Amino acid sequence: MNAINVISPYRHHGMWVFDDARVGLVQEPFVSGADTWIDRVVAGIPNAENGFTLIFSSGPFPGHQYRLDWRQTAKLQLFYLFCT
């Protein structure tokens, strides 16, 4: 079973951020290079910097368009790998 999550990222001071009132987050920046894949995903969405809806889950769900894989390097660095 997938738990579907929904946030509305937007740009603030040049960074992609999001709010989540459930846990008290306001203008929370994305980490681990997520801003790079957000730029790629929203490239064709007009005015995305003002906000867009991002639906995500820990696993694939019907109708998903992109996939991120959590990877670890030999030096124990963690990052997301953008996959289409």
83 CB contacts (<8 Å, ≥6 apart)?
66, 67, 68, 69
The predicted model gives 39-60 an average pLDDT of 89
Structure-block tokens of residue 63:
């109708």
Which pLDDT band holds residue 27 (cuts at 50, 70, 90)? Answer: very high
**Is 83 within 8 Å of 69 (Cβ atoms)?**
yes
In SS3 terms, 49-60 reads as HHCCCEEECCCC
Query: pTM (2 decimals)?
Result: 0.75
pLDDT, mean over the chain: 81
Pick the residue with more confidence: 66 or 71?
A: 66
Query: Does position 11 have pLDDT exceeding 60, yes or no?
Result: yes
